[in-house]
Amino acid sequence: MNLAVLASGYGSNLQAIIDAVDKGEIEGHIKVVISDVKDAYALQRARRHGIEAVFIDIKDYSGREAYNEAIAAVLEKRKVELIVLAGYMRLVSPLIINKFRGRIMNIHPSLLPSFPGLEGIKQALDYGVKVSGCTVHLVDEGLDTGPIILQESVPVYDDDTVESLQNRIHKVEHRLYPRAIQLFIQGKLSIEGRKCFRNEG
């Protein structure tokens, strides 16, 4: 299956996906990594592994819709079948969601529906939760509201900082995200309403 990864920053989840592809744990090919940030380290990671790396600058376009049309054109030209968001800091537009309905995946550092949006880890710590975690979900028009594919909890300790909790959550993300992608590739996910079922039998 042809995959595309959209990333805005360091790309640690991208690296976990690349490693899983190299090990045969994901039966797919990353056709392109797209970023909205010119010097995103994620683009360097892609180039280092011989993956096409594309920077698309929103300033080159008349508005958000034209910018997303440019992204969609790159995805369609490369026959992408699954879009994976890995630290992509922009909302995916309805244009892309409609073209790739049910084929866009995201990972979020909280147990959704709790603490959606930016700074989910800080939100959780400020609230005083005893358990946090991460969620892999399909993308719809809302903010972190799509059907949940996989979740895993991570304990929160009294002396946790955003950084210490983030480090523990990242370790789980790097295992959970490749697994969710492989389930999708194997056709083991089905959606009914807003529920996602895993058919792993």
pLDDT for residue 132:
98
Of the candidates 95, 76, 73, 97, the residue with the CA atom closest to the CA atom of residue 85: 97
Q: What is the spatial distance between Cα 157 and Cα 45, in angstroms, rounded to a whole number? A: 32
Band of the pLDDT at 199, cuts 50, 70, 90? Answer: confident
Tens digits of residue pLDDT in 154-184: 999 999 999 999 999 999 999 999 999 999 9
- In the block, tokens 């592994």 appear at 49
Q: What does the pLDDT look like over 10-39, one tens digit per residue?
A: 999 999 999 999 999 999 999 999 999 999
84-100 per-position pLDDT tens digit: 999 999 989 999 999 99
CA angle 147-45-33, nearest 5°? 50
- Reported as a single tens digit per residue, the pLDDT across 33-78 is 999 999 999 999 999 999 999 999 999 999 999 999 999 999 999 9
Specify the 3-state DSSP secondary structure of 99: helix
Q: Strands across the sheet with 2-6, in order?
A: 52-55, 29-35, 2-6, 82-85, 104-108, 131-138, 148-155
Distance CA 169, CA 121 (A): 9
Catalytic residues: 108
Percent of the chain with pLDDT over 70: 99
What the chain holds in terms of domains, given with CATH numbers, is 2-195 (3.40.50.170)
Q: Output the pTM of the full model.
A: 0.95
